[in-house]
Amino acid sequence: MTHTPHRDDTPSGKHTRLISHGPEADHAFEALLESHRARIQGLGDLPNATVAQQLELLEQLAEFELGRFLLQNRGLNAYWTHHLVTYPAHAKTLEFSNDLHRLIYDSLPAVLATRERFGIFRQQLQARLTSKQHLASIPCGLMGDQLMLDYTQHSNINLLGVDLDEEALDGAQVLAQERGLADHLSLRHADAWALNLDNEIDLLASNGLNIYEPDDAKVIDLYRVFFKALKPGGTLVTSFMTPPPLLSPDSPWKMNLLEPKMLGVQQVLFTRILDAKWNVFRTHAQTRQQLEAAGFVKIEFIDDHASLFPTVLASKP
């Protein structure tokens, strides 16, 4: 008999709307596409892309499922995030529709940094794993950061996934069953800002919320919720997106490690065509200040190779 992870479907808190993505538009996709075309034509040329070039990228996006999802939602859901960070494990089953489709998976700097960040999360969590621990992933998405760890040398592990997205929880449940971890997993449909956890978690992983939330005070509030949830001595593993050089003189981007052409394509895609929701950037100093304001100590940064999407570790004293 297949075990079903414990599931608490009672939503709570102030943020009852998903901030990463929304439901598909009611109107037909072609109408949505036409509105994108009109907007691009109205905005005109960019220094690195004519209107014609922008429209060509738009049409290529519309040819594959991930591109259509981005056009409809301006953000990634749990499934597509997991699909991007776990590539090329499923490369044999992925057929690219066009050059842009392949470029997003193989060459886009933000995607490569996100994939590298996912690997760093797993490395750091694995290194801190011991028996009799309580781990949490908030928001959990498909929870690959914890469900894909190696637990063979550890016992009495409890995993908690919290997400406001019902589809994410469904996906995490499926992945837990595939990984043989269903007996260890509890899932909670809840808002991250309104967790009711107090000194319960040893390791808490959180990726994705702060890059959609522009209000610094709300981000500090989120970190305070995480601080309260952790046991004394517990560790938060989180991340943030750093600003590009054009937006901040304090940008840490290692431009010599980034391909200018790919950065240009990324800028056009994210800022002009998609107007992506995730473009909230913070520096290392800002992130340190926010975590310290929430009470964290022993703050340590681990950069991806080009410093686009750093991981940060913070401890509860």
Kindly indicate the confidence band of residue 8, based on its pLDDT and cuts at 50, 70 and 90: low
| C-alpha–C-alpha distance, residues 281 and 289, integer Å | 14
Question: Domain holding 223: CATH number?
Answer: 3.40.50.150
The token pair that represents 21 in the structure block: 């993505």
Q: Which domain holds residue 305?
A: 6-11+116-245+280-315
> Both 44 and 133 in a single domain?
no
Nearest Cα to 117, choosing from 202, 203, 207, 192?
A: 207
> Both 129 and 223 in a single domain?
yes
> Both 96 and 194 in a single domain?
no
Q: Check residue 28 and give its pLDDT.
A: 81
Q: Check residue 279 and give its pLDDT.
A: 80
The count of domains in the chain is: 2
Nearest Cα to 194, choosing from 3, 12, 8?
A: 12
Q: Is residue 194 one of the residues assigned to a domain?
A: yes
Which amino acid, residue 259? Answer: E
Q: Is residue 250 one of the residues assigned to a domain?
A: no
| C-alpha–C-alpha distance, residues 209 and 190, integer Å | 14
For the chain, give the mean pLDDT: 92
Q: What is the pLDDT of residues 146-186, one digit of tens each?
A: 999 999 999 999 999 999 999 999 999 999 999 999 999 99
pLDDT above 70: percentage of residues in the chain: 91
Nearest Cα to 81, choosing from 272, 261, 202, 211?
A: 211
> Both 155 and 191 in a single domain?
yes
* Angle in degrees, CA 50, 53, 56, rounded to 5: 150
> Both 177 and 81 in a single domain?
no
Residues in the chain: 317
Q: What is the pLDDT of residues 13-46, one digit of tens each?
A: 444 445 444 444 445 899 999 999 999 999 999 9
The residue among 197 and 277 whose pLDDT is bigger is: 197
| C-alpha–C-alpha distance, residues 126 and 7, integer Å | 25
For strands 297-302 and 6-8, give the pairing. Answer: unpaired
Q: What is the pLDDT of residues 99-110, one digit of tens each?
A: 999 999 999 999
The whole-number average pLDDT for the span 67-85 is 95
